[in-house]
Structure 1
Amino acid sequence: MFQRRLRTFIAVAAIVLLAALILTLTAPRLFTAKSRIMFNPSPEQVVASQSVVPDPPAVSTVIDTEVEVLQSRELAQRVTDQLQLQKDPEFNPFLREPSALDRWLAGLGPRKPPEPPASREQLEARGRGAATGAVQRGLNIRRSGLTYIVDVGFTSRDPQKAALIANALAEEYLNSRSEAKMSTTTKANQWLQRRLAKLEPELAAKEAAVAAYRARNNLLSASGATLAEQEISSYNQQLAAARAEEATEQARLDTARSQLARGSRGDDVGEALDSQVIQKLREQRAAVSAAVADLQGRYGPRHPDLLKAQRELGDIDRQIEEEIHRVMSNLEAKTQVARQRTSSLAGSLGAARGGLAGVNAASVSLNRLERDAQVARTDYESLLARYRETSSQAALQDSDAELVSRARTSNAPSSPNVPINISLGVVLALVLGIGAVLLAEAMDDSLATAADVERKLNLTALGSVPLLRSVSSRRDRDMAPAGHVLARPLSVFAESFRTLRAVLLHGEFGGVRIVAVTSSLPGEGKTTVSVCMARSAAQAGLKVVLVDCDLRRRSLNQLLGREPDVGLLEVLSGACGLDQALLPDVSGAMLLPTAHRQTVHQDVFSQPAMDRLLSALSARFDLVLLDTAPVLAVADTRVLAAKAEVVLHVARWRKTSANAVDEGLRHLEQSGATIAGLALTQVDFRKQQRFGYGDPAFYYGQFKGYYANG
């Protein structure tokens, strides 16, 4: 892969390396100066109290935070103002004359309308902002390993400016830390003093309010359980029991009502089952019912004894029904009593709670007053203690960082670093060159080897037809492929067609006579393959006929240089006989061309005449080759492919994409054609050695001595 993409690799790598060289040689010379700041991990403490601005521990996260502070815009702006860098053209682009490149780039863009002149204040603000940004871009702040030291570097075209700005930035940072601590401590003292002056009268007023309330309400204690609380607890228990009893009675009543609503006579109601009266009435009813049954069987329906027994039975039923009504009325009465008891207890509980609220109202107010006084007392005492501490710290503020090394002027430029730039350019050139090779390979969807055919198309690779100029001598390079097969029958070019014929006639599809040769797209060499295969077979002693089935291009006529008067269409229409249309070839093969006529609009290949013609040809010849049109261009090929015994599909080496071939094969399979396999055409055997490791063409240099190519 690398060998065949060597030109791509060299071109990309050379461009990248040349760009690196140009950038390195044209880059301005820059100088870097560096000062060093050390953070003290254990600052001195004169007083054992917490500072208003405590020194953070010198851990990695804190030092990394300070590195970010050193790169802040506020600090850069203070250095800009201190050194008046907005007046320096190196930092203020508005003071510089535009370069030729800037003027050229400005001329490429659209012309902008002239802006109104800016005021002096606006110009100064723009210059100050631009200079501040330039200072930020020139900074190089980094921590030295895992130490407590931070390097403050600055890069400039002037080595003296670089050292001056690096030192100014470090000093400004240290001063800002000390000023910040001092300012914060002073502000804290002032705030504490004002707060204490406000809290002192508030505390006195709240303590006086507590004492006055105790005296006015005669409250010695507001803790413990009172009688009202005990009474509420008792009512709560009774109310819970009453609600449970009410729920039980209501459930019994609802159950009985539900049974009656479903059509029950009340015999299965729980309370009716437990009633002694109903049980006795049921016993009487059973006896009378037995007597009625006996009398009905003994006498007629109008017998006096039977009528008397029936009246007695009805009277017992009414008594049972009345007793059930009394049971239901009793259930309703019990439920109403339970409900009234619950309501009474709830009212008593509410009254007791109201009494407790009145009793404890004074205690609640007292607790509130005491809490307010305690909060005020705690705030006042804590602020007073803190005020005394900060007052003693105001004059003892010291920075936890110090400048341990000042920046010095350097005469050696820090940029560009030629060795590093060239090394990086070489590495980048190699990486991008290899990437370009891999990208070109990934985007290459063509077919180059038999392995590509089998892997991408899942199809048998029948062979490769070489590009004639890649395997012939100089004197034969201008010879036509069809003539070369006759003139050089022992050449590797002619051998490729004998290989195709052997695979088709003696391989998996041995015994076939009708072979259709087609391709997915035009210009892939299918007509050349058809003619050369026909001549090669004729030289081997086979009876061969080649039929030109490309009605639009008539490629066979163009290749052989003949323009017949009658041909395939005349045979199919019956205008002439087969023998009249057949033409002999110099190789001994027979040709059935297509005469020059107007375009045929009807589908001639699907007619019975075409079937009869193919039967006649297969009976007279050992091999019938059908030179068809491209599958994706003309629908006639799908019809012919289905009539042929096998189809030979050809694709141009490294030109036709696998997707196009796959689409053509799909159309052939849909038409019911039998695809023998695919052959690659116009294969450059000299270049093929870079693609087909393991492919027969890869070993062409070793076996080409077996052929007579010239």
Structure 2
Amino acid sequence: MATPGAWTQRPHDPAPHSGDWAARPRYAPSDFVTLLWRERFLMLAVFLVLFVLGAAAAFSLKTSYPAQSSILVRLGQEYVYEPRAGDAGRGAVPDSDQVIQAETEILGSAELKQRVIDRLGLTRIYPKLAKKYVVADAAEKRVILSQAIRAMEAGLKIGTAPDTPIVRLSFEHEDPQTAALVLNTLLEEYLVFRRNVLVGSTTPALEEQREAFETRLAQADQAYEDFLTSNRIGDFVAEKAALAQLQAQIEQQKYQTEAQLQDRIGRLTVLENQMGQVSQEVGLYRDVNNAANDKLMQLKLQREDLLSRYRSDAQPVRELDNQIARLEQGIAEGRAAGDGAKRIGINPVWQTLQTEKIQLQAEVAALRQSQEALADQLRQLLDRRLRLAELEPRFQALSLDRDVLQANVRDFAVKEEQNRAAREIAAASNDNIRIVQRAVPPTKGKSLKKPVFVLAFLFAGFTALCAGLLRMFLRPGLPTPQSASRTLDLPVLGSARLKAA
């Protein structure tokens, strides 16, 4: 016997299982319109509730006025690296992006915002927080100030672009005048605050270090003076140089003295040999005997006298002529000549040689004494130089300490003055930071009412649609004849409306 409904089954269709058609009804796109229309009241209620709430939230939002400003940032002296000690890395500078990043961090710092609040007052910027601040205790005041700083951080926008030295700032506030005032005050405080951050006050540290080096330098000077005094040294370097120069001079004099001594000894030897060959006495003069000539003259005079009385052939005249002839012959033959008186004295040549010998002996003795004196002086100089050479390591150590400490004191004094000058210059100007545009009160506000209103409408509509679909899918049974026909794969011959209870 055939079961009911068997005549409607196709041979290839699987047998229906109990409960499958109720759990998984099949829908067509046309069914959704009909089914959602049935849930129109639920969807409308959900939409109205959510839209009203969203609209209320949108209309509760306040209009904010963004004030705009911009600054030009360039590389300044404060970014040039100056080492505190030594010269390693001197003159190193960061790139432009790092400079912009540093300035941006300074602009966004909480301390800078605290400065702005302290300068303008909490009442001028956030009146509601100011009212709470008046009646709050110390702990609550700190919390309120933190809230004000966070509110400023939320309202402040800092924008940069790669490879661009411009930093753009924007601050939003309910009051356009306050927005411009806060942003301009922020820029003014930023120009002051960045000096303290970048330049920094290192003068006290430099001064303390310089004073420490001065104290050590005074101790080194005292040790240096004690060293010189204990060793009876006026100027170590000058004395060492003077001793070397004096030793060279004395050695030169010694060599000259030795050469002179050898010269004098040689001359003395030759002189002594010469004196042995020279007679000590020599005839000073000798008288000549002229008696024969006088006699001859006298005979000639007598002959002349006789000729005045006698003839030339007279006997007396002939006798005188014979005498004269014999005397002349004797004189001619030298028989009538004889030695006269002689005088003998000191030989002047021997005397000169003796005088020169005495002088040479005196010079030799003097040169020997000079040689001994110079040798003694050389020994003293050598001992002194050896003593200085022994003391030189200690002197060099003390001098090196003094030189290093003096250089450190000088360097730190220079750095102290440079740091002071840099701070004074930085306090007077900000050459690398230029305000391109100062903030002016904005005339056009900025509000999220319209976006929030549109989002509330869309959200309410979407939520109502989801509620309708959820209610549609959760309803039991087959909602429409078409859905029943597709789900049961049976033709629907008729349908009747559900009678109201």
TM range (shorter): 0.3 to 0.5
Higher relative contact order (CA 8 A, sep 6+): 2
TM-score (norm: length of structure 2): 0.41
Higher helix share: 2
| Higher radius of gyration, 1 or 2 | 2
